[in-house]
Structure formats: C-alpha cells, structure tokens
Amino acid sequence: MEVYFVRHGKTDYNNKKLLQGRTDIDLNEEGLKQANTLGRELQTKNIDFIISSPLRRAQETAYSLNLNCPIFLDDRLIERELGEYEGKPVSTYDFPKYNDYNLNSKEKGVEGIQQVIERITKFINELKVNYSDSKVVVVSHGALLRYVPCYFEGIPEDGMIKTNVLNNCEYLYYKI
C-alpha cells in the first residue's frame, strides 16, 4: 500500500495566521491553485481513490486534485477540535501544552492529543487491512497530520510530539 497524506490547500485563515480547527471554510484562490498543481504531480502515481475530511477546505482540495478516481469522506480525518482557540491567532495557542501526550490537556475545549492519535491510528489500521494493494491519497488538516508520524515512529518517551505541521498542499508519503 502507498499512502499520500495531504494537507488541504490554503485558506484566508492560513493567510491571516488564524487557527481554523473545525471552522468550516473554503479554500482561497491560492489554495485551489496549490491543489491543481499537486494534482498534476500525483497524476503520475496511479491513485486508486481519495479519502477526505468532510470539512470544505479538504473536500475542495480533494476534488481540485482532478485525479479521476472515487472520493470518499471519513469523519476521522476531521481537524482537531481547537475549542476556544478557533479563529484566534496561532500565537495564542500553547503548542507544547497541547502536544504533550502524557498531559493530554483538554482545557478550553481542545480535543485531547491522545484522542486525536487514537483516531488517526484506527484510520490507518483500517486502511492497511482493507486496502493493502492500493495507492491512496488522504486529504486532511495540519494539526491532525502532524500526528501521522507517531503511528510509524511511535510516541516519544517524554510524550512531547514535536513533528512539524505540513505546509498547505504538502504531503507525507508512506509505503506500508
């Protein structure tokens, strides 16, 4: 199995450096162009299907890839709930606190990191069982996708998740 974990294209919130969370907003013009450009690159990969978060920015990215394959939605790919931080500047969010697996903070309505990692782990396990011979594009969000490497590399002993957020329309590739 080959999987391309793609972060959605750019939005106006990204340009303003605001936290989106589950706020359901559209791609902007640049985001649509990013998705089209990435789609041209992925066309040579013979993708079997796309699975996308149901949020509009992810769906618009999935469709704008123009890969001529089925697109499915999966709620497990939705962005991390950011509670009171949604719509606020990125600088207001305490990344170390909310990325500490052992602390698993849920303050201010933020979804606990352990729950987020559990969601993506179940999703990847199901992909491996049901689609072992497939080439798949998974379109999701920055906060969720930063935890994909934890599936493959494990949780650091100190519990501090330090993986970087992908830029818009960047992807992680894994051959499983």
User: Catalytic site residues?
Assistant: 8, 79
Quote the CA–CA distance of 103 and 85 in Å, as a whole number. 18
| CB neighbours of residue 108 within 10 Å | 12
* 135-140, strands of its sheet edge to edge: 71-73, 49-52, 135-140, 2-7, 171-175
DSSP 36-83: HHHHHHHGGG---EEEE-SSHHHHHHHHHT---S-EEE-GGGSPPPBG
Task: Give the position of tokens 């729950």.
Answer: 115
